[in-house]
Amino acid sequence: MTLQNKRIPDAEFYKIREEVLTQWPTGKDVDLDESIAFHKSLPEHKVFSKKLIDAKQKGITLVQPRAGVALIHDQIELLTYLQNKGEADLLPTTIDSYTRQNRYEEADNGIRESMKERRSMLNGFPAVNHGVQGCRQLINALDTPIQVRHGTPDARLLTEITYAGGFTSYEGGGISYNLPYAKNVPMEKTIRDWQYVDRLTGIYEEAGVSINREPYGPLTGTLVPPCISHAVAIIEALLAAEQGVKNITVGYGQCGNLVQDVAAIRTLEELTNEYIQKSGYDDVVITTVFHQWMGGFPQDEAKAFGVISWGSATAALSKATKVIVKTPHEAAGVPTMEANAQGLRCTKQLITMLSDQACTADNLEEEKEVIRRETRCIVDKCFELGEGDIAVGTVRAVLAGVLDIPFAPSRFNAGRMLPARDNNGAIRILEKGNMPFTKEMMDFNRSKIDERAAAEKRKSSFQMVIDDVYAISKGRLVGRPQGLR
């Protein structure tokens, strides 16, 4: 099949679907008509898309954690605690690493070991192994909408089972769940596989069941310039819309500079709507998600709460539709459910306090225009490389280094672009690699980094990048040399 950004024909889709459902025995339990009927039986307060639309209309920011364990009973207990004690507005089910790599036999072993040890021996919920009825146990037990969060390059069977199980939101995309997560998976394959995910979502939509789709915003999570994550979000939104998806949440990972982060969330929705409407998808609802700090966390719990609070304040001031919440135990590994609930309550308190406030910094408009200009430059070049087809253009752009995600492990990613913070902590571009920026754009980025270099009495260099990666875990945003801290 030649890659193109065209809706998969029904005959072709259902032929592929026959093979997908045989990848693990639980696939045989998926009945599309019965699954659609189950979704239609759910009360409105359990439907992700409805809650997002309501929040967008009211201008409020919803809070959502990450969480996933191996066994159904334990996952219900965990999510119930986060719902009741953490006051979560939206809930996740984070999928385990074996399932993400389609290694279902090993996930099965993990379930058995978890039952034997009476604690989770997997780092998430093996939804494919638990099957449709196992997923429905979660949906029926909770009063809050639940999303599937994972990191799977080929998520087709996982999508089938979790949709049939009643999940009403699904994260990921063909770029964002490839380059930051995988080393050897070609872009053509993940885009095709995620076109299947989006077409399945479109089929549910056409039957009257609106399932929310969320491209993964933070990418590699560290020092990702807004223009790059915006470009990926916009492309994945366009790919999803072509397959019939109507409810899309585009995301962005906190960079740490308040003005840049607020400008990023506001321009993300604006630019996504711009390209969605320009491409003729007039009935797609776009919402936003702000991810709290994705880099290293301080070991000290009080300092960790400071990082969470800053992310909470930024999410509130940016008016993101929802925020993904971190915990004070991030530096220690998988958090306890108590720590997860603490992070939620901390975030909710800050959002409530700032709900009626607005960010009106004088330089906000300037920063928004920088992000608009740089994002359009990347997305438009992707269209150009694909001769109007964004799917083709994306593959070519990645191979050419036009779309270059910093620190991504994929061998298909160029890895030549280098980001660094400026003197105020905003993320700029130190080396553009093959990204299609004009001399004017690069002069702006370099001038901002040079201002920092002058303040720190050193040359602009790769050492700044290294210093910035570790800065937050050492209690700062900008990686200053000793003596300037």
Q: Which two three-digit tokens encode residue 407? A: 């620190």
Positions marked catalytic = 100, 171
Residue closest to 64 by CA, chosen among 88, 80, 84, 93: 88
Give 91's DSSP letter. E
Alpha-carbon span 272 to 58, nearest angstrom:
20
3 neighbors 192 (Cβ within 8 angstroms): yes
H/E stretch holding 48: helix 48-58
Closest C-alpha to 359, from 276, 264, 457: 264
Residues 382 and 403: beta-carbon distance below 8 Å: yes
Measured between its terminal Cα atoms, the distance across the chain in Å is: 56
Q: What residue type is assigned to position 413 of the chain? A: N
Which among 198, 207, 243, 205 is positioned nearest to 33, based on CA atoms?
207
Q: Can you tell me the distance from the alpha carbon of 248 to that of 189, in angstroms, rounded to the nearest whole number?
A: 22
- The rounded distance, in Å, linking the Cα atoms of 358 and 11 is 50
Amino acid at 196: Y
Single-letter code of the amino acid located at 267: T
Strand partners, 170: 148, 213
DSSP category for residue 472 = G
Q: How far is the C-alpha of 450 from the C-alpha of 452, rounded, in Å? A: 5
SS3 for 419?
strand
